[in-house]
Amino acid sequence: MAVTATTPATRPPVATSRTGAATVTAALLLLVAALAVVDLTQGTASVGAGEVWKALTGHADPADASVVIASRLPRMIAGILVGAMLGTAGAALQAVSRNVLASPDTLAVNAGSYLALGLAAVTGVSLPLLASSGVALLGGLAAAAVVLGLSGLGAGTVRLVLAGTALMLGLNAVTEGLLLLFPEETHGLYQWNQGSIAQNGFDGVAQLAPVGLAAVLGLLAVARRVDALALGDDAARGLGVPVRATRITVVVLAAVLAAAAVTLAGPIGFVGLCAPALVRALARRFRAFTRSRASLPVTGLTGAALVLGSDVLLRSLVPADLAVAVPTGVVTSLVGAVFLVVMAVRLKDTAAATAPDRLRIRSRAVFAGVTVVLALVLVGVVIAAVLLGDAKLLLGDVVNWAEGRAGRTVSFVLDTRVPRVLAAVLAGAALALSGTLIQAVTRNPLAEPAVLGVSGGAALGAVLLVTTVPTADSWGLAGAAFAGAALSSLIVFGLAARGGFQQNRLVLVGIGVATAASALISLFIVLTDPFNAVKALTWLSGSTYGRTMPDIVPLAAVVPLGAVVAVLRRAELDLVSLDGDTPRLLGIDLARERLGLLALGVLLSATAVAAAGTIGFVGLVAPHAARALVGRQHVRVIPVAMLLGAGLVCSADLLGRTVIAPAQLGAGMVTAMIGTPYFLYLLVRSRR
């Protein structure tokens, strides 16, 4: 699919002199220097500019000198180093892939490094800093190789972002599982994952600065080959450039930079995306920046300015005692999310929204057979989920409990287990129906509540309530989740509706909103008290732990209502999913129909999030599988998808609480591990 940036009607003349480029570079150096000076004066201790100057010149009080030399100066240098490495890595990845959205974030390099370090932490072995950087490098390289292999170099903006986002969700699900299973071994890893440039001394900076410098010099050495790749593979080969070797070299060097930055400060999000984009804007006016040897250092300076600027902004707006707890990566992720949304809105997408699948006609016998089989499978899974767990029961125990004749132990087990099973079943059905509606209305086969930011908005609203009003009831949680989902949906679908829900714009805006929601969730979790933080983290993993009957009442009310409305609107769903013209020719108010169906999908997703936390990929997998089994008629897709979603989440919840009992994994983690490979398979199939 072709993606082109908007082109102004008149473009200012391009400056060809080196003087203009040198002036811009000098201005960036002055900006970084000014931000560095301001950053040195910020902190919890009452050490101002005068004390900082005395400390740097060796005339300060020992206490003030200790604050400046041991804490603030290493933090400032780390900010410059991390920003420069991430900015340079992003520029190199975008150049070699010819994709303006390639970065350590969208290629899942950060997620791969996070998982690799998590696995290393679980072993209990204390690794030196350089060894940790090597482990992070291996994880980041592996993730980047998978994403680039699945998306194809230069194969399209949205494909790369989708592959990277899906892999990131899967890898993060595994890492979060490690955090819950090995809390002592992985202590502090969650806070580290938010990205913070705070340092204890110069050890980290001194060890990783040479690594970053060597990688940058390596990129500058192959800069001319990278410029040749911009002409196309055939042209580059004609100039004698080894295309494959150059790409591998650049990806490895960029991964080294990203891994070093991750090891030093954790994942600082979106610097590798924003910095190259800002330099590309400069390159339209200064031709010198179109060459890699000039653009890479300038992009590094821009990245340093972004990281230091984010740290300065954070400490200027937030009280000093709170700013210490807020990671710098939260600020850069918020800025990057807004940046991604703006880029998505400005991109011209020549790929129109398409129908989810080719038209398939299945007989009524096939539909009836599939429905009966899935219903029987769901009944079997529900029975197994009720009987199995940390305590195994018999069907007779369940019958006695239902009749009120069970013993105290059996009653306690079933009083806690049955609500969990019902929550999983209803949440799965709700997410599957929500995904079916959203895919039909947007005519996007890769649309899904989690990918489009709907689930993220719902989670943000619920986490905000959990961390501020811990005693809120289930209806309050459902209301907060719906408010968050409604706000995120208004942004995503409102911006994507311009031009008819085109695939690139819809998905990129959704990912941007989901990223912003995730950053805000991390902010609330970091700032709240530890008890509420653990509660929120457990709930975010998609866990049904601690659910009671009152908690599932909102979901039990919404799911049947949503199913009835969807079935009644089955003809409109079939028409809306075909194209934009047929419904209008038949007298259907397309805008109102879309709005109503999307609102129903948002309500279903929000209620499921409120009852069972964030559970991803169910809204993608279930509708696809249903259409493959019974065709595209929604009167058949709806019940089959709901049965598949209910069975998938119930099975995931059962596996999560039995496979490694007494420890437990959230159903959301298990579905992410299952859904990620399927999502990537869909990308490969669509590429063919």
Token pair 């004390």 is found at: 51
**Locus of tokens 């969650």:** 190
Expressed in percent and rounded to 5, the helix, strand and coil fractions of the chain are: 75, 0, 25
Question: 135: which residues sit within 8 A by CB, 6+ positions away?
Answer: 116, 117, 120, 127
Q: Which among 92, 428, 452, 70 has a CA at the least distance from the CA of 252?
A: 92
Chain mean pLDDT for the chain: 79
Provide the angle, in degrees to the nearest 10, between the axes of the packed helices 203-221 and 73-97.
Answer: 30
With vertex at residue 591, the alpha carbon angle to CA 586 and CA 594, rounded to the nearest 5 degrees, is 95
Above pLDDT 70, what percent of the chain? 80
The residue assigned the tokens 């085109």 is 502
Q: Which of 49, 69, 153 is nearest to 107 (CA)?
A: 153
**387, pLDDT greater than 70:** yes
How far apart (Å, rounded) are the C-alpha atoms in residues 409 and 391?
Answer: 10
> For residues 504 and 99, what is the distance between their CA atoms, to the nearest angstrom?
13
Interior CA angle at 431 toward 430 and 434, to 5°?
Answer: 85
Q: pLDDT per residue over 362-371, tens digit each?
A: 778 888 899 9
Token output for 485: 């989902």
Alpha carbon 307 to chain centroid, angstroms: 20
Q: How far apart are CA 375 and CA 395, in angstroms?
A: 19
List the beta bridge partners of residue 560.
Answer: none
Report pLDDT for 422: 92
Residue 182's φ and ψ, nearest 5 degrees, are -130, 65
| Angle, helix 474-496 to helix 454-468, in steps of 10 degrees | 140
Identify the bridge partners of residue 286 per DSSP, sorted by sequence position. Answer: 15
Q: So what's the pLDDT on residue 18?
A: 63
| pLDDT for position 379 | 94
Going by pLDDT thresholds of 50, 70 and 90, the confidence category of residue 105 is confident
Q: Between 487 and 443, whose confidence is greater?
A: 487
Measured between alpha carbons, how far is 220 from 38 in angstroms, rounded to an integer?
31
Dig out the tokens for 686 from the structure: 């669509």
What's the confidence (pLDDT) of residue 537? Answer: 66
5 DSSP β-pair partners: 347
- What's the predicted TM-score (pTM) here? 0.75
237-264 exposure pattern, b = at least 16 Cβ within 10 A, e = fewer: eeeebebeebbebbbebbbbbbbbbbbb
pLDDT score of 20 more than 70:
yes
Phi-psi region of 528 (alpha: psi -120 to 50; beta: other; left: phi over 0): beta
Residues near 669 by Cβ (< 8 Å), separated by ≥ 6?
Answer: 173, 174, 176, 177, 541, 542, 656
Distance of alpha carbon 20 from alpha carbon 283, whole angstroms: 11
Cα 117 to chain center, whole Å? Answer: 19
pLDDT tens digits, 236-264 = 888 888 888 888 888 889 888 988 888 88
Note the Cα 232 to chain centre separation in Å: 31
Identity at 177, one-letter amino acid code: G
Report d(CA 462, CA 483) in Å as an integer.
Answer: 9
Q: Rounded to whole angstroms, how far apart are CA atoms 27 and 225?
A: 29
Average pLDDT for 126-153: 78
d(CA 221, CA 510): 38
Mean pLDDT within 28-35: 92
Q: Is 568 helix (H, G, I), strand (E, B) or coil?
A: helix
Mean pLDDT score, 521-546: 69
Question: For residue 286, what are its two tokens?
Answer: 């200064």
Residue whose C-alpha is closest to residue 612's, from 470, 389, 423, 421:
423
pLDDT single digits (tens) 45-82: 666 666 667 666 666 667 666 767 777 888 889 889 99
Confidence category of residue 339, pLDDT binned at 50, 70, 90 = confident
- Check residue 8 and give its pLDDT: 39
Mean pLDDT of 638-652: 92
Residue with tokens 């903006």: 157
Within 222-327, residue ranges assigned H as helices are 223-229, 233-238, 243-265, 271-283, 292-317, 320-323
Per-residue pLDDT, 86 = 92
- Please state, in angstroms and rounded to a whole number, the distance separating the CA atoms of residues 419 and 427: 12
Cβ neighbours of 131 (radius 10 Å): 13
Q: What is the DSSP string of 36-81?
A: HHHHHT-SSS---HHHHHHHHHT-S-HHHHHHIIIIIHHHHHHHHH
The whole-angstrom separation of Cα 182 and Cα 518 is 23
Name the pairing type of β-strands 3-5 and 347-349.
antiparallel
Determine the pLDDT at residue 80. 92
Q: Which two tokens stand for residue 18?
A: 């080196």
Q: CA-to-CA distance for 79 and 268, rounded, in angstroms? A: 10
- Please list the residues that pair with 15 across neighbouring strands: 286
More confident residue, 607 or 539: 607
Q: Give the helix/strand (H/E) hosting 348.
A: strand 347-349
How much is the pLDDT for 214? 92
